[in-house]
Amino acid sequence: MIAATLEWGAKHVVFESDNSNDPAKFYVVSTPAHKTYPNKKLPFKNAVAMSMGKQEDMNKRTIISTLMH
């Protein structure tokens, strides 16, 4: 998994798979930043996993944060 931030105002963005027989899956999220951040690749190896919630509340989950700070 790789995450990326795209600079505010980016006009042309291309996502491609390395292997057309096993195409990549892309999950895209757009949120207002109210600030310009540079384009940046955010490798999964740098992600932080945070366990939250409890199973007895049916709310146990792991949040994978790739946010840059």
Tell me the per-residue pLDDT of 11-25, one tens digit each, with 9 for 90 and over: 888 888 889 899 988
Q: Please give the model's pTM, rounded to 2 decimal places.
A: 0.44
Contacts of 29 (CB under 8 A, 6+ apart): none
Dihedrals phi, psi of 35, to nearest 5 degrees: -160, 145
Look at residues 45, 62, 41, 40 and name the one whose alpha carbon lies nearest to residue 53: 62
- In this predicted structure, the answer to whether residue 69 has a pLDDT above a threshold of 60 is no
Written as one letter, the residue type at 30 is S
Tell me the per-residue pLDDT of 22-55, one tens digit each, with 9 for 90 and over: 998 877 777 666 777 777 777 778 888 899 999 9
